[in-house]
Amino acid sequence: MSQTKKKLSALPLPLKGKLIETFGSLDKFYATVYLIARNAHQAEITNIPAAQQRLKTIKAYQGMIQFQLDEAGIDGKALMDDITSDYLEDFVQYKEQDFGLTDEEFIAIIKRI
C-alpha cells in the first residue's frame, strides 16, 4: 500500500463518508484522481490543438475535487499532489495501473463531481 493510500485510510470517518458518497469508495477516489492526473499529463505532452481545451477541462475537475477536499478540512492540493506524484513515479518506471474501473464508472464519477 502506497503512502498516499495509507493517508487516505487514516482520514476521519466523516470525510471518508463524503468521499465514498461521491466516488463510491476510497479506492475509486484514488483511482479517479490518478486517472485525471494521467489524462492531464497526456494532454500536456500531446501537441495537438484540442489538447489545450482538454487540459482546461481536466484542470477544472481537479479544481472541483480540490475544493471539495478543502471544504471538508483536508489540504486538497497536497493530497492530489501526492496522487499525481504516484502517477508520475509509475510513468517514469513504465508501470500501468489497472484499477478495475470501467470507462462508464469513471464517467459516472466525473458527473457526480
Q: Nearest to residue 88, comparing CAs of 31, 20, 41?
A: 41
pLDDT digits (tens, 9 = 90+) for 21-61: 999 999 999 999 999 999 999 988 887 778 888 899 999 99
Alpha helices of the chain — where are they, by DSSP H?
Answer: 3-9, 13-23, 26-45, 49-71, 76-92, 103-112
By the 8 A CB rule, do 112 and 105 touch?
A: no
By the 8 A CB rule, do 4 and 82 touch?
A: yes
pLDDT digits (tens, 9 = 90+) for 51-108: 888 899 999 999 999 999 999 888 999 999 999 999 999 999 999 898 999 889 999 9
Domain positions in the chain are: 3-112
The pTM is what? 0.91
The pLDDT score that the predictor gives to residue 1 is 60
The pLDDT score that the predictor gives to residue 93 is 92
